[in-house]
Structure 1
Amino acid sequence: MNLSVRIKTYALCTLCLCILNIAQAQKKAASLKFKVIAFYTGKEDQAHISFVHEANKWFPAMAKKYNFTYDSTNNWKNLNTAFLAKYKVVIFLDTRPEDSLQRVAFEKYMKGGGGWMGFHFSAFALNQSAVPQNWDWYHNTFLGSGEYGSNTWRPTSAILKVEGKNHPAMKGLGSTFKASPNEWYRWQNDITKNPDIQILASIDPVSFPLGTGPKQSEIWHSGYYPVVWANKNYKMVYFNIGHNDIDYEHKTNKDLSRTFGNPAEDKLILSTLLWLGNTK
């Protein structure tokens, strides 16, 4: 084969390889089901920081396995209409936006059909605290829970009763499952009386007494406590999980528990995310 033919053959092979690579890249891009953006603050409470670190390892692993993309940011200025337009699902890992323009952009995103899941402290609001209830649409209309009421302490596991068995988020969970240790919240509003709210899981009474104290008010002996719920008017699910147990007493701040790695909770979170990302 002379030099000219070899050059032409090499050029042709190179061109074919480039075309193949482009086709594979396009196929991969086309197969991506949806994009997820998680917002977090990652400050103040080591239990919340621990959860955020866990989440930002677990979600990327799930993204590779289930073929979606996961991005995360602690820059809440990105919570604007142009930025959100790139994503199918928004996650609040530990806090909520405080800026009024960011709040307007998020409300517009949700009313436009965007998907959302929030964890634990993202629903917290308490007047006369650093996080006052000053966002009625979010706390009363969207979440329905209103202000924070009280909590259990220390973080302990609980048996959760599955209520919304027909909701896609609860697929395959059975009637009950054991949750990882958590600080459980009670809320000001009774969401059982809110027709827009669908409760998906609650504390099963077999969990009582729940909490270890030392304050007696931090140990629940009875009552009804929703833990996971959805708002029928939006594509959203809120989880009251996301507070790991931390060694505060010995000032090591070491993790004493994890949220992810619990098969039932992992299934719940993943089913919710895939539902949010794959529905119109």
Structure 2
Amino acid sequence: MQFRGQLPAHIRCGVRKIALLIACWVLPAIAMAQSSQSGFKVLALAEKGGIHKPFVDAAKIWLAHEGAADGFSVDYLETTDSINEELLSHYQVFLQLNYAPYAWTPVAMAAFQKAIDQGTIGWVGFHHATLLGEFDGYPMWPWFSSFMGGIRWKSYIATFSSAQVIVEDPSHPAMKGLGSSLRIEDEEWYTYDMSPRPNVHVLASVDEKSYTPGSKITMGDHPVVWTNPHVKARNIYIFMGHHPELFNNQAYTRLVHNSLLWAAGR
């Protein structure tokens, strides 16, 4: 049957109902698919007090802004008490926000190690995450030391120095847009008992000759940003992370932004 001109009213009504049903089912499905592709969830284990609290507070403000722009959300913990395999399964990135690698519960240690070894979660760690040794009555975590390249914390520049950080692998996604170097002001550069370089892939190192003021506390070969290719998880360690003013440093925030997205597989 063919109709010339306008369709009968009952047919037009049926067409509108079908179109409405399609919109109700298809459009939300498209939106959900787009959300699942772009959004991700971050679990941040954050130091809750002490000298690193200002950095953590600044990081939370910055992460809220970035999350709104890039479509990720962040949940925060201040202890490892609730960390287990089931909790970690709900997140795509674990952010170790100046939280030291000791005083973790055995369950948290086992769950974190399994997630990193098997690659079920990405990881970005900052600064205090390499405070490896015997501290506050706790032994060193051997697996975490290996994860960080087999290092042990040795010393630091207590009076702070500014320095030039040299990009060693500009092709890595975490270093995109950083150029050949970035300037970091007033950092308390850690030193270790050895360079992690033989056991990790170094992305950037600090030029100790550029320390201002100069310091006798040096390593020689001094990596400060690296990733461990021997585990399945995408992982980045960023040493710089003492002062909140770092979040006013455009090169630094680009590094953190790039690292988060790469760790999430985006």
What TM-score bracket applies, with the shorter chain setting the length?
0.7 to 0.9
Structure 2: which amino acid aligns with 1:277? A
Which residue number corresponds to residue 108 of structure 1? 114
Please say if residues 91 and 117 of structure 1, whose CA atoms lie closer than 8 Å, have aligned partners that are also in contact: yes
Structure with greater strand share of residues = 2
Which runs of 5 or more residues in structure 1 are unaligned? 1-11, 212-217, 245-256
Change (3 A) 1:133 1:210: farther
Which residue number corresponds to residue 124 of structure 1? 131
1:117 alignment partner, SS class: strand
* 1:185-223 per-position Cα deviation (integer Å, ceiling 9, x unaligned): 00113323x2x3011111124413556xxxxxx644772
Q: Distance in 1 between matches of 2:87 and 2:44?
A: 12
* Residue 98 (str. 1) matches residue 104 (str. 2): yes
Bigger CA drift: 146-155 or 56-65? 146-155
User: What are the within-5 Å matches in structure 2 for residues 72-83 of structure 1?
Assistant: 72-83=76-87
Identity %: 30
Which residue number corresponds to residue 253 of structure 1? none
Q: Distance in 1 between matches of 2:83 and 2:36?
A: 26
Which residue number corresponds to residue 224 of structure 1? 221
User: What are the within-5 Å matches in structure 2 for residues 44-83 of structure 1?
Assistant: 45-46=50-51, 48-83=52-87
User: What are the within-5 Å matches in structure 2 for residues 222-261 of structure 1?
Assistant: 223-234=220-231, 235-244=234-243, 258-261=245-248
Structure 2: which amino acid aligns with 1:81? E
* Residue 40 (str. 1) matches residue 37 (str. 2): no
User: What are the within-5 Å matches in structure 2 for residues 159-170 of structure 1?
Assistant: 159-170=164-175
CA shift for structure 1 position 180: 3.5
* 1:223-244 per-position Cα deviation (integer Å, ceiling 9, x unaligned): 2321111101231111111112
Q: Distance in 1 between matches of 2:41 and 2:259?
A: 14
* 1:141-184 per-position Cα deviation (integer Å, ceiling 9, x unaligned): 20014221110122332110111222211112111110242211
1:165 alignment partner, SS class: coil
Aligned length: 248
- RMSD after superposition: 2.9
Change (3 A) 1:28 1:131: farther
* Residue 267 (str. 1) matches residue 264 (str. 2): no
Which residue number corresponds to residue 4 of structure 1? none
Which runs of 5 or more residues in structure 2 are unaligned? 1-16
User: What are the within-5 Å matches in structure 2 for residues 71-220 of structure 1?
Assistant: 71-95=75-99, 96=101, 98-113=104-119, 114-127=121-134, 129-130=135-136, 132-139=138-145, 141-192=146-197, 194=198, 196-210=199-213, 219-220=216-217
* 1:59-92 per-position Cα deviation (integer Å, ceiling 9, x unaligned): 1211111122222221422321000001111011
Structure 1: which amino acid aligns with 2:187? N
* 1:108-154 per-position Cα deviation (integer Å, ceiling 9, x unaligned): 01112121011111110233x31644210111x20014221110122
1:30 alignment partner, SS class: helix
CA shift for structure 1 position 259: 1.6
